[in-house]
Amino acid sequence: MHVLRHYVLREIRNNFWSTLAILTFMLLVGNIFTKMIDLIVNRGVDPLAIGLLIFYSTPYLFIYTLPMAMLVAVLLAFGRLSADRELVALRASGINLVRIVRPVLLSALVLALFAFYLNDQFASRSHFKMRQISAEIGMQSPSAILEEGVFIKNFGNLVLFIHRIDGNQLHQVRIYQPQEQGPTRTIVAEKGELIPMPDRNMIKLKLENGTTDEPDANNPGRFYKLRFGTYFLPLDMSGFKFRGNLEKKRKELTTHELWTQYSKLKSEGFVDNFLLTEINEKIATALSVVVLTLLAIPLGIRAHRSEKSVGYAIALILGTIYWGALIAASALSRSALISPWIAMHLPNLVFLTLGAWLLKRMVRS
Cβ-contact 341, 279 below 8 angstroms: no
Give the span between the Cα atoms of 144 and 45, in whole angstroms.
7
Q: Which residues contact 35 (CB under 8 A, 6 or more apart)?
A: none
Q: What are the residue ranges in the chain where pLDDT is below 70?
A: 1, 30-46, 92-94, 135-145, 147, 167, 180-183, 198-202, 216-221, 236-246, 304-307, 365
Give the pLDDT confidence score for residue 38 in this predicted structure. Answer: 59
121 and 257 together in one domain: yes
User: For residue 243, is it within any domain?
Assistant: no
User: For residue 14, is it within any domain?
Assistant: yes
State the total domains in the chain.
Answer: 2
Give the pLDDT confidence score for residue 240 in this predicted structure. Answer: 54
Of 238, 269, 285, which residue sits at a domain end?
238
Cβ-contact 61, 27 below 8 angstroms: yes
20 and 104 together in one domain: yes
207 and 347 together in one domain: no
Cβ-contact 334, 352 below 8 angstroms: no
User: For residue 77, is it within any domain?
Assistant: yes
255 and 300 together in one domain: yes
User: For residue 129, is it within any domain?
Assistant: yes
Give the pLDDT confidence score for residue 305 in this predicted structure. Answer: 62
User: For residue 10, is it within any domain?
Assistant: yes
Of 238, 263, 281, which residue sits at a domain end?
238
43 and 114 together in one domain: yes
Q: Which residues contact 348 (CB under 8 A, 6 or more apart)?
A: 284, 287, 288, 291
Straight-line distance from the first to the last Cα atom of the chain, in angstroms, rounded to the nearest whole number: 22
190 and 262 together in one domain: no
119 and 258 together in one domain: yes
Do the bridges between strand 202-215 and strand 169-177 make them parallel or antiparallel, or are there none, so unpaired? Answer: unpaired
Give the pLDDT confidence score for residue 59 in this predicted structure. Answer: 87
Phi/psi at 238 (5° precision): -65, -20
Of 204, 238, 272, which residue sits at a domain end?
238
171 and 205 together in one domain: yes
Classify burial at 141, counting beta carbons within 10 Å of its beta carbon; exposed 0-12, middle 13-18, buried 19 or more. buried
133 and 166 together in one domain: no
Give the span between the Cα atoms of 183 and 220, in whole angstroms.
10
Query: Domain containing 52: what range?
Result: 2-140+248-364
User: For residue 15, is it within any domain?
Assistant: yes
Give the pLDDT confidence score for residue 346 in this predicted structure. Answer: 94
Distance set, CA 104 to CA 43, 192, 352, 365 (Å)? 48, 61, 15, 20
34 and 100 together in one domain: yes
Cβ-contact 334, 277 below 8 angstroms: yes
Give the span between the Cα atoms of 113 and 326, in whole angstroms.
19
